[in-house]
Structure 1
């Protein structure tokens, strides 16, 4: 009797597998993963012998017709079989002296509940006998596999939208080094994005859906631009200043259009509480899923720009002054039109590259100084008791020359993880970068580095270099948390970017999303801005003088 029951259960389970319905979202998500895996792993596909994008467009109608898990698996199995036999080369030897970084690596989805055992075995066999290349990751490496037809696709067509989604999602899946520190699993982001991609009524809807997906990688390097669509190429108008968000208020920190600011009596330190009736908190929330950042300080920095632009020239702005609220009807203008405002005039004020402050303290503006200025800077500041390197900006490649001045010997300050093309999704640790040189006459005073959310990428990397001097103190607040080279990616009407390599301290401490942790944390206050103070620099002066 027990044998009969067991036999019936097996037959019943097989029937259930064959008849179990599969949703459109499940099919499209699973297809995305299989297509991307084959793109990078299948010897024939990865070698460029087939037009893999075209094959996807040809197979999508069959995938859509599949109603059950069994039918769906069969479509994918036949697709793989049609590519021809794969030469068995397993086991593939790991090169000597290679240390893998596998926090991003996960092919456990081979055992997806939607897949037949036969399909799962085929995928595993391809992994074990994957494409092998002599190409190494570096400048010029094309993770998109030389496919350039995304500019020719019609994104009003659903299948074309799916193709672009699949190409982008798998690029991040296999070639984004920081996938493991995203807020949520990249698989879940795919599942959440698919309905908007599939149901997009226009190219604009589609691009906004892709933009929202890009935000999910939590990378401050990521900027997305939508262009070549007439309805999106309209000109914006701007508030004549920029600012910083503090305590859910927007504080003016820099005037960009002198005459426009004067006409509306806008001054540094003014506190904005509402724009067109919406609070700053509401405006922040409206942009939450449209701006990509590694951490909250950088998000708040990035969100200022969209908050301070408008489709209209006439904007109502509520200010808070002396405990009272005042609403102004303002004229905002397009800063690209030099005939209508003076944004450019306000933006080109000359800034000093370096100078000597009171009490024999040197100051270097890292956003202004260039390699050709370093000898003069060293000559002027070498006898100071401390030098403040202000890196609340983006440096100009001066780290090497300055580090030779600061350090007494050569030291490694950063190591990297690079994608491993012979096993996509896996990364390898590489040799690090060094700075400094043998120099008995190196600088002996205190080295102070000022950082904040404007310190991005090269700023963070340079700060890591300066930390090797041994007498370095970091003062300020959390940096942008995006260290590593930026990789640009263009599709028809759409541009985005992402960080391409992983950057770590020599002891493998992480920098992505964390940034460079300050030794002394200081953040600007509304009161300090209104009083014209640079509270971060002031704190540095206190530390130099008092040692605390």
Structure 2
């Protein structure tokens, strides 16, 4: 009797499964996952024996015609069977020396309601008998598996656009170390953007969808550059002759890039802009929010400025705030490639001190200017000071090693990494951390102050972690960009993008991605301070040096 009941239930469940309808988006999302999994796990595909991209393009028309879950699963089952027998090598023994980091790892979708039990079992079998690579992770590692770019694709073809999306989605799925800290689950993003990819009618429409997809990584390292095309080549771009910061949803000028151009419209340090072309700065910011990837709000507001201060029109209406009153001017913005180019460059490249001695025997080092060859002179000049301020509100030039040897009395670990475990794609392993400093009884004995803000990204944050090992280090400023480590970069047909490639953590496992380097003393510039020409962050550092508070 039990046997009869079991057979009945089995037949009934398969009948119900077969009757289930399936949407195009469901099919395409599931196909994306299966295609990407096989790309990295199936021995014949991962080894590069097959042109896996072409196989996808051949199968997509069949998948589009599938009307039920049963038909859909059967197509995928037959596809896997056509690849040939996977040799059973399980159990694959994992080294006891490997300490896994698995917050990113999730293959639970094998049991998706869209899949037959037979298909789910095939996928699990391939996982257990997956491709084993002799490759070591390093700068030359190819996430795309023998296909380094997608330059020659036709983005007017629906299936070609899907191929591009699938390639990008899966490289993030398996090789983005911070997938687990995204605001939105990556598979949800896939389901959301698939209809837009299918419906995009021009390359520009498609790029816009991909840019929105990249923004979902919530990673300040992510950039999205569109290559010039026949459509974009005809466009001219015009720029505001200064740059600034967003404070209280207003744009405050902090640096003049073209002196005479700014003077013509009475633009000064501290000038407050409230509207551009009759739209408030707040409105413009919100409009661009889904197009920019940033680890946190501070980094987003910093990155969004690049798009606020550029226009496709030479004439721009700008509303300024002067003495509490609003004033609108029609400004002429300037093309960097015209006769004003040199003036913009000159304004942006004003000479800055590498290091100097401030009042009260306090040293100051501009980490964005000083280079390794300058470090010995800096040490000689500042070694007897009572404190040194390392201004890292910029991007350093690889000086961490020499300076850390000066600051530390002995070698210390300052960070550890998670790296892709190539024989189990999607999993990461903890690796030996990075050390800095050396045995040095003559190390610096004064206070070490590091200034940081939203301009501090990647090497800035990493160097700050290094300097924290000195033990007498105080971080002053505001939240950093929250994107540490190297960058994986990818070239596609029409655009270039990338993302953070390895995980960076403190030795005790504390996260830096999205969090950034947390200041011991938080201080941010104010509109009042900027107008007065003050550096309030540096002022706070000097106060701390003198008072200890």
**TM-score category, normalised to shorter length:** over 0.9
Q: Indicate whether 1:88 and 2:110 are aligned.
A: no
**How do 1:526-541 and structure 2 match up within 5 A?**
526-541=527-542
SS at match of 1:316: strand
Separation (CA, whole Å) in 2 of partners of 1:336 and 1:242? 18
Q: Give the TM-score, by structure 2 length.
A: 0.98
**How do 1:164-313 and structure 2 match up within 5 A?**
164-233=164-233, 234-313=235-314
Contact 2:244 / 2:255 at 8 angstroms: preserved in 1?
yes
Q: Which residue matches 1:418? A: 419
Separation (CA, whole Å) in 2 of partners of 1:446 and 1:341? 41
Q: Which residue matches 1:435? A: 436
Q: 1:359-407: per-residue Cα shift (whole Å, max 9, x none)?
A: 0000000000000000100000000000000000000000000001000
Contact 1:226 / 1:232 at 8 angstroms: preserved in 2?
no
Contact 2:149 / 2:491 at 8 angstroms: preserved in 1?
no
SS at match of 2:509: coil
Contact 1:144 / 1:167 at 8 angstroms: preserved in 2?
yes
Contact 1:260 / 1:341 at 8 angstroms: preserved in 2?
no
Q: 1:99-133: per-residue Cα shift (whole Å, max 9, x none)?
A: 00000000000000000000000000000000001
SS at match of 1:468: helix
Q: Which residue matches 1:390? A: 391
Pair 414,2 (structure 1): closer, same or farther in 2 beyond 3 Å: closer
Contact 1:218 / 1:292 at 8 angstroms: preserved in 2?
yes
Separation (CA, whole Å) in 1 of partners of 2:115 and 2:342? 62
SS at match of 1:282: helix
Q: Which residue matches 1:459? A: 460
**How do 1:353-502 and structure 2 match up within 5 A?**
353-502=354-503
SS at match of 1:437: coil
Q: 1:124-173: per-residue Cα shift (whole Å, max 9, x none)?
A: 00000000011011110001112146111101100000000000000000
Q: 1:179-238: per-residue Cα shift (whole Å, max 9, x none)?
A: 000001000011111011011111111111011000000000000011232222322101
Pair 412,5 (structure 1): closer, same or farther in 2 beyond 3 Å: closer
- Of residues 196-205 and 340-349 in structure 1, the stretch that sits farther from structure 2 once superposed is 340-349
Give the length in aligned residue pairs: 548
Separation (CA, whole Å) in 2 of partners of 1:27 and 1:301? 39
Pair 185,538 (structure 1): closer, same or farther in 2 beyond 3 Å: same
SS at match of 1:325: strand
Pair 434,341 (structure 1): closer, same or farther in 2 beyond 3 Å: closer
Q: Which residue matches 1:33? A: 33
Separation (CA, whole Å) in 1 of partners of 2:3 and 2:504? 59
Q: 1:37-58: per-residue Cα shift (whole Å, max 9, x none)?
A: 0000000000001100000000
Pair 4,378 (structure 1): closer, same or farther in 2 beyond 3 Å: closer
Q: Indicate whether 1:100 and 2:92 are aligned.
A: no
SS at match of 2:330: strand
Q: Which residue matches 1:157? A: 157
Q: Give the TM-score, by structure 1 length.
A: 0.98
Q: Which residue matches 1:508? A: 509
Separation (CA, whole Å) in 2 of partners of 1:318 and 1:463? 39
Q: How many angstroms does 1:258 deviate by?
A: 1.3
**How do 1:65-76 and structure 2 match up within 5 A?**
65-76=65-76
SS at match of 2:496: strand
Separation (CA, whole Å) in 2 of partners of 1:294 and 1:444? 35
Pair 83,94 (structure 1): closer, same or farther in 2 beyond 3 Å: same
Q: Which residue matches 2:63? A: 63
Contact 2:149 / 2:490 at 8 angstroms: preserved in 1?
no
Separation (CA, whole Å) in 1 of partners of 2:537 and 2:49? 58
Separation (CA, whole Å) in 2 of partners of 1:306 and 1:482? 20
Contact 1:193 / 1:209 at 8 angstroms: preserved in 2?
yes
Contact 2:334 / 2:340 at 8 angstroms: preserved in 1?
no
Contact 2:142 / 2:148 at 8 angstroms: preserved in 1?
no
Q: How many angstroms does 1:5 deviate by?
A: 9.7
Separation (CA, whole Å) in 1 of partners of 2:528 and 2:358? 24
Q: Which residue matches 2:338? A: 337
Contact 1:357 / 1:363 at 8 angstroms: preserved in 2?
yes
SS at match of 1:155: coil
Q: How many angstroms does 1:314 deviate by?
A: 0.4
CA RMSD of aligned residues (A): 1.5
Q: Which residue matches 1:351? A: 352
